[in-house]
Structure 1
Amino acid sequence: MWSGRTGVLLRGWGFWLAGVPGRGPPSSNTASQARSNSSRCWNCGGPGGAVRGNAFFCPQCRALQPPDPSRDYFSLMDCNRSFRVDTMKLQHRYQQLQRLVHPDFFSQRSQMEKDFSEKHSTLVNDAYKTLLAPLSRGLYLLKLRGIEIHEGTDNEMDREFLMEIMEINEKLAEAQSEAATKEIESVVRAKQKEYTDNVSRAFEQDDFEKAKEILTKMKYFSNVEEKIKLKKIPL
């Protein structure tokens, strides 16, 4: 562990560690009532109304059912619960689901189905964005195992890494040309690629503490990436 002046300076640079991207479906009294008897369709009362697996509609009346709150993003997007995902398959699944549940297709349906459609669509968007990016995917995998990275973790990082981050930020702040900014961006991209490969191996070995350590570093570099994007925006 290491704390002191560098930790203070890092906080001054704006190093906060945000929570895991993505959220579950918004709760509502309507959805709760519809879920009160999860084995029945809210519309016709028939069996099999609950959303399980890939079934989003009642098999009898075809009414859209509320989202299943127990379903995780990997299951929803038809992916193995693994750090390695097929991004092409993920995109195809995203498009497939949005063709099923997007609110545009429910403008002439009941208000209940409109509400459920919005919840499904939001959930699908969140799942897709979370699993698509290596950092958010890794954080979500940890979250499923009850492991989260909290704010103020700079005191837990080694001095060499923190000094490296500070130097990159200083160079970025002083960069006066597009070429200088691109050079820094190239360094950051290479670092993120290295960390992505390392965290993938950590997950394969079920070394979740190692994965947490690497993902924490990736979050620091992600903050730098955001600053690079802002630097590129013309004033």
Structure 2
Amino acid sequence: MTRAGLLRLSSTLTTRTRPTTFLQLRPAAVLAPSLGLRSFSSSLPRYNSPHQQATLSSTCPSCHATLPSQITPLCPSCSSLLPPPHPSTTSFSLFNLPQSYALNNSDLKRTFLQLQQKVHPDRFGGQGEQENWAKSWSGRVNEAYKVLGEGRSRGEYLLSLSDVHIGEADPVTDPELLMSIMETREALEEAETESQVQAIRDENRETMQETFSLLSSTFAAAEPDLEQAKNLLIRLKYLENVEGVCREWSPGKRVELGH
């Protein structure tokens, strides 16, 4: 029953573009090669926030050297800490990455660690303004990594850049998904052994993989279908809930499967 529900759920994910890669579930996994989102970036420069535009002609506050157009925390000439980026700077720009759903998470983590090493507030303790800048930089870098490091949050962030948002109160309207929710909840409530739950978990993970792949294909299209991307992300949230319930399952424990 559970397998039938998950297979039916999987069948509704089919789109005109056949997925060619499967994305890993863990943040540290290597994801599909980067694919540019042309409708998101359009013909604008890769680095196009007000801060980045300003840095084309701005100078280092310490040595007055001309700064590069790319976001950088340290002056290339004197290595002093620079002011934090403009609030409108995107998380992608902060990491000097293309605005894409498909990212290499190993590279992302490596860039994150390098940035944090450069801007860690402990390096600038007692240095007044630069210490405050370091705290701001560190917070921005942490938040950007949190957003980009997970498949669902990255997708929701990409949608938000096009003024499309997913709210907590957004209802699940897909009848196939609603049926799957009910069947999976029933299967988990009836499960008596860890092996039964593991079977549900394995099938759920397969569906998650397919959903990640479809998200990658959807966002990489010449004209991304944002409504489809939104529905896939709502579906992914439910699948993540199933994963969490399976992980915490124990005999007789109440099954609370939200959506």
Superposition TM-score, scaled by structure 1 size: 0.70
Q: Equivalent residue for 1:72?
A: 90
Match of 1:85 among 103, 108, 111: 103
Q: What are the equivalent positions in structure 2 for 1:63-142 lying under 5 Å apart? A: 63-107=81-125, 109-142=126-159
How many positions carry a matched residue from both structures? 193
CA gap of 1:76–1:136, structure 2 versus 1, over 3 A, is same
How far apart, in 1, do the equivalents of 2:199 and 2:247 lie?
Answer: 13
How far apart, in 1, do the equivalents of 2:166 and 2:236 lie?
Answer: 12
Kindly provide the amino acid, as one letter, of the partner of residue 152 in structure 2. Answer: L
Q: Equivalent residue for 2:171?
A: 154
Cα drift, residue 180 of structure 1: 2.1
Cα drift, residue 60 of structure 1: 5.5
CA gap of 1:158–1:61, structure 2 versus 1, over 3 A, is closer
How far apart, in 1, do the equivalents of 2:98 and 2:134 lie?
Answer: 25
Q: Deviations over 1:190-226 (max 9, x none)?
A: 1111111111111122111111111111111122222
Q: What are the equivalent positions in structure 2 for 1:189-228 lying under 5 Å apart? A: 189-205=205-221, 206-228=224-246
Q: Does 1:180 align with 2:210?
A: no
Q: Deviations over 1:69-112 (max 9, x none)?
A: 121111112221111111121121111111111223233x4243
Q: Secondary structure at the match of 2:101?
A: coil
How far apart, in 2, do the equivalents of 1:197 and 1:226 lie?
Answer: 21
> Would the aligned equivalents of 2:71 and 2:85 in 1 still touch at CA under 8 Å?
no
> Would the aligned equivalents of 2:105 and 2:149 in 1 still touch at CA under 8 Å?
yes
CA gap of 1:159–1:99, structure 2 versus 1, over 3 A, is same
Q: CA-atom RMSD, angstroms?
A: 2.8
CA gap of 1:180–1:61, structure 2 versus 1, over 3 A, is closer
> Would the aligned equivalents of 1:52 and 1:68 in 2 still touch at CA under 8 Å?
no
How far apart, in 1, do the equivalents of 2:136 and 2:86 lie?
Answer: 10
Gaps of 5+ in 1: 1-36
CA gap of 1:110–1:207, structure 2 versus 1, over 3 A, is same
Which structure's relative contact order is higher, taking Cα pairs within 8 Å and 6+ residues apart? 2
Q: Secondary structure at the match of 2:167?
A: coil
> Would the aligned equivalents of 1:172 and 1:181 in 2 still touch at CA under 8 Å?
yes
Cα drift, residue 147 of structure 1: 0.5
Kindly provide the amino acid, as one letter, of the partner of residue 168 in structure 2. Answer: E
Of all paired residues, the percent bearing the same amino acid is 33
How far apart, in 1, do the equivalents of 2:247 and 2:139 lie?
Answer: 26
Kindly provide the amino acid, as one letter, of the partner of residue 173 in structure 1. Answer: E
How far apart, in 2, do the equivalents of 1:61 and 1:225 lie?
Answer: 45
How far apart, in 1, do the equivalents of 2:209 and 2:132 lie?
Answer: 40
